[in-house]
Chain A
Amino acid sequence: MYVYDEYDQKILDDRVAQYRDQTERFLVGKLSEEQFLPLRLQNGLYVQRLAPMLRVAVPYGLMNSTQLRKIAQLSRDYDKGYVHISTRQNIQFNWPLLAEVPDILAELATVGMHAIQTSGNCIRNTTTDQYAGVATDELEDPRPWCEIIRQWSTLHPEFAFLPRKFKIAVCGTDEDRAAIRAHDIGVELVKNEAGETRLKILVGGGLGRTPVIGVAVCDFLEPKHLLTYLEAILRVYNLHGRRDNKYKARIKILVKAMGIDDFRAAVEAEWAHLKDGPSTLTAEEIARSKSFFTDPDYKEFDAATAQADLDEQCSRDLIFANWVKRNTVGHRVPGYRIVNISLKATGYAPGDITDQQLELMAELADEYAFGELRSTHQQNLVLADVDISRLYSLWQSLQSAGLASPNIGYLTDVICCPGGDYCSLANAKSLPVAEAIQARFDDLDYIYDLGPLDLNISGCMNACGHHHIGHIGILGVDKKGQEFYQVSLGGSQAKDASIGKILGPSFKQEDMVAVMEKILNTFVELRQDEEPFLDTYRRVGIDPFKERVYAKAD
């Protein structure tokens, strides 16, 4: 993974000192609440319902074991001993003290971590595929490009006060695991006819109040132009994005208002002045970035024998076999597998992890995965490089720590924001709904039979739980001071991305389990063979679901 040099460290240390000074000035009354607000937000600090929330950046979801141990220690020293993995692959502390945040940041900086631009109207943490570099279907590793974008976007002088937040995602595979079509800018690594790497740039995707699927603004950008082209897009947005209404301030609204052709023309006009300027990437810089994402020291061994041993272990221990089947994924190197660690055990808030679990994960990363770990936008963790002859002992360790729930990609792998229990923006609680559904559908055979199913829950319109792109989406709404839940069906975050369609009038919290039962029963009745939920929905449409869910009892 990327390793900070003296320049990166200097920038980070300067930022910590600057933020410490800003906090001190706020605490003595020299900075007003209104002035401090965007400054603390640009440093990931929200003031929440019960306490501030500090969001720490995990650039494109990649961490090493030293960083994990630091997070565990900070969660003990400054918080209540657990943290939350967000849907932007970041890590959130729930209960830090505002006055202590500069100390937390100073400690994070010692391991190359920070909270820069994890909130606020600026360019946020760039996200990518959690299987980057090891996926079997990858055209090219997106991480070097993510790192180039990370550096360019960090403390960018021109784009710190945009009309609204700005999110970029990169993917390099056929199956889009980074939801790039739901981002302000999506970058897809593609090949041109000559087989050279090119960048397809999508713009104007986003969730929130007005969900939109991004559209292509450039089909085959030469990679060296990445930063100047991004600058041109951001400048058009900074100058012309709406600032009079925060619900109409995202770039998707500007792109819709201008139309993609006029928007593209405006970008090209700006780009004409920036293209081939000093920000044009050099071959050396691209090579330097790639040099941090080379193969670890994979061992050479007889993969066939190891596979035979694994098969044998699986036949002896069916619980292990099931975990291998559900939570591990094929790796591009024979003899290795990608291991998903589910943070969706029933009874725990989705995406939460304790200090002890973090320390165990650091140990396991060192022991089994070259010291690295990834966070996912599905709020789980990944050990990317595990040799299959050691899967069994890894599983035993995970099992003993409650980290082996075999539900990756299934109904109970719920994606869920912290909701009204924590967040001051939320209209409704999301965690109790997730828990009630997980508790009701605890029969593993049943959820496997349902097949792959994305259930996404957001406590408000801001859509941190990405409810629009869940196969089943649940949105908390406020109806005259009462918490209600709106259900949508048919969303997808994959390459065939779609926005879910609202089923009908919203429901009370206590009815949500029964509503889920009706939706799932309808699906089971209508599905053909092993058809996944999304395919059935796309075949039969929303009406059969609507009829069943809203049918009056006889």
Chain B
Amino acid sequence: MPRLIKDGVIVEDDSPEVLDLEQWLACSDRTQRAVVLEPGETLAPLIEHLDEIPLVMINFPIFMDGRGFSYARELRERGYRGEIRAVGHFIRDQLTYLARCGVNAFEFDDESELENALDSLGDFSEYYQASADQPQPLFRRRA
């Protein structure tokens, strides 16, 4: 079974079948299906179904396309609590940014990257901005 990083540890992938946005919206048993978001799609139709989604995958066809960062952040801001998984061609140097935007799972094409990627999750120990894992910006926390 393929492996991935989820909530800071390496686990086996037990994800449900993955549908694209259009298929997922049309599907009758949505709570059993994951949905994948591609750059350029709009989140709007998903917002009213946030409670029904077990897993949102955000695809990065190229790592320089930063739209996925906004998708993750918006999903969390609107109250989505399920899994958000980055898939595709993001790189480990983006992990802290992705995690702070609310991505909690990372699936790499090359599984040998997983151990090293875990290290990258700890690249930073302090941040200025509010983020999914620290809703208070530094200026509200400064002693």
Chain A residues in contact with chain B, CB under 8 A? 5, 7, 10-11, 14-15, 17-18, 22, 31, 35, 38-39, 121, 151-152, 154-163, 227, 235, 238-239, 243, 273-274, 277-279, 281-282, 285, 288
Contact = CB atoms under 8 A, between A and B. Distances in A.
21 contacts: A7-B142, A11-B124, A11-B126, A14-B123, A17-B123, A18-B123, A18-B124, A151-B139, A157-B96, A157-B97, A157-B127, A157-B131, A158-B69, A159-B69, A161-B69, A163-B66, A238-B70, A239-B70, A243-B65, A273-B77, A281-B139
B64 A161 contact: yes
B66 A39 contact: no
A5 B141 CA distance: 13
Contacts of A17: 123
Contact of B101 (A121, A157, A227): A157
Interface size class, chain B: 35 or more
Given A15-B124, A158-B69, A238-B67, 8 more contacts: A14-B123, A14-B124, A152-B129, A155-B127, A155-B128, A157-B73, A159-B66, A161-B63
A282 B93 CA distance: 32
Nearest to A30: B116
5 tightest A-B contacts by CB? A161-B66, A157-B100, A285-B139, A157-B97, A151-B128
A234 to B, nearest CB: 9
Given A238-B70, A273-B78, A278 B136 contact: yes
Contacts of A285: 139-140
Nearest to A42: B93
B126 A7 contact: yes
A288 B65 CA distance: 36
A278 B137 contact: yes
Contact of A235 (B64, B70, B100, B135): B70
B25 interface: no
Interface string B47-70: 000000000000000011111011
B138 A151 contact: yes
A502 to B, nearest CB: 33
B65 to A, nearest CB: 6
Contacts of B126: 7, 10-11, 14
B118 interface: no
Given A7-B142, A10-B126, A158 B73 contact: yes
B18 interface: no
B91 interface: yes
Interface in B107-143: 123-131, 135-140, 142
Contacts of A161: 63-66, 69, 94
